[in-house]
Copies of this chain bind each other. A is one copy, B any other.
Amino acid sequence: MRYAILGTGIVGRTVAERLLSLGHEVVIGTRDPATTLARTEPSTTGAPTAPYAEWQEEHLEVELLPFADAARIGEVLVNATGGRVSIDALNAADAGHLDGKVLIDIANPLDFSQGMPPVLDPANTDSLGELIQRTFPGLRVVKTLNTMTAAVMVDPARVPGEHNVFLSGDDESAKKTVRELLHSFGWPEASVLDLGGIRTARGPEMLLPIWIQLMGHLGHADFNFHVQAAHPKA
């Protein structure tokens, strides 16, 4: 499969590496490749991240393209942009290149403008997943993986024991595609909890505030949520 990852940060790079290791083709989309490649300073949001150009040198098989070209070439799209610029990134792609495609939305709409800790925008009465689906009705949006650090997304065994990944989306066949990808990442069948339609994306997105608090409490990000139930689905 040919994946287009939108976003050049640590999350996009981590997912790209995993997809490559599974034999997929990967292109990465950014606003302006020349600008992205010219950056020499580490990113300042979140954990320090090496400039993209350094990563690119180690992954010459991955082409860096403008959003529109990446979206055109990708058979499945992954939204790994900062959640506050996701709509802009998708607007930069021609809607004709989006129609009918699965978009795996792993982003969170974290707003750092009021300082730390970030708040969510949108939240509570809306979510980024819903906003993307509403704005681009031709996309088949599946929200998933946004509730953990990138290293755990692609290697769940990094956290021992049982823990969960959530799925939200209106298109059942798109969710099946994503579920199969999650299995190939190492997520057991029972770990994938399908919450329902894209409207349920607001639940997993609203996990972010406590996720950030827990990272502070633990002093690291190698953790995940497990839904411990007294008995199986009724």
Query: What residue in chain B is nearest A166 (Cβ atoms)?
Result: B210
A203 to B225, CA, bound (A): 14
- The 21 sampled A-B contact pairs (Cβ below 8 Å) are A123-B206, A158-B230, A162-B228, A166-B210, A193-B214, A195-B214, A195-B217, A196-B216, A202-B209, A203-B212, A203-B213, A206-B206, A218-B233, A220-B229, A220-B231, A222-B229, A223-B227, A223-B228, A223-B229, A223-B230, A224-B227
Residue-wise, chain A 64-81 has the 8 Å CB interface mask toward B (1 for contact) of 000000000000000000
Name the prevailing secondary structure of the A interface residues. Answer: mixed
* A182 at interface by CB-CB < 8 Å: no
Query: What residue in chain B is nearest A207 (Cβ atoms)?
Result: B210
| Chain B residues, Cβ within 8 Å of A160 | 228, 230
Residue-wise, chain A 133-149 has the 8 Å CB interface mask toward B (1 for contact) of 00000000000000000
